[in-house]
Amino acid sequence: MKYLGIIGGMSWQSTAVYYRLLNEGIQQRLGGQHSASLLLASVDFEYIAELQHQDRWDELADYLTQQAQTLERSGCDAVLIATNTMHKVAPEIQAGLSIPILDLIEWVGEKLSDNQSQSVLLLGTRFTMASDFYRQRLEKQGLRIVVPSGDEQEIVHSVIFEELVQGQFTERSKQAYLQIINRCIEQEAIDSVILGCTEIPLLIPPQEVPVFAVDTTALHAEKALDWMLS
């Protein structure tokens, strides 16, 4: 089994899901008393969120590169960034490593292609929805990427930071998200949704979305398991 380094804590709510999925997956695949061989570098999300909202991405890249380098020096064979938003600086982090980063966005694209998706709604933090680091890579695969309107983006973003990362999952917020999804189905003709923040599937399980939905946390963990046992 390969030794996986995880940069987590962004937020710890979803990092706990990664930890559970990876250990459950190893036990299911190998049986016996097996569990995942991994090392977790869990950061203080308050510090991360502050730099995000101040648009200080260079500092974030430097900080997470230091975390990744610590994992590499500790003997990890690859790094998993346990969040969607911070893949915005994944190229900068990768430049400071000699081991690979397990690329979530590549696998999201493969999942959508396997489903023969064409028009896809991207939900996530405002940083994910408004930036092009996700959209550009998926559009190169011929996918049409849709994001919510400005007001809707603010709803999605505020629920993530004010509720989900605090462990609050309310029916009111679930219905607000579903209303946005349904509007995009009707007005934007989307056929798929990327649950592009690792906390969103905790609020809306993919099976409750009225079109095909990619649970990025579960997908990332599944592909990491494939890599660990390859």
Known catalytic residues are 83, 197
Q: Which residues pair with 101 in a beta bridge?
A: 79
d(CA 91, CA 106) in angstroms, rounded, equals 13
User: Closest by alpha carbon to 57, among 101, 99, 87, 12?
Assistant: 87
b/e 109-147 (16+ beta carbons within 10 angstroms → b): bebbeeeebebbbbbbbbbbbebebbbebbeeeebbbbb
Chain position carrying tokens 């990664």? 18
d(CA 150, CA 153) in angstroms, rounded, equals 5
d(CA 217, CA 49) in angstroms, rounded, equals 19
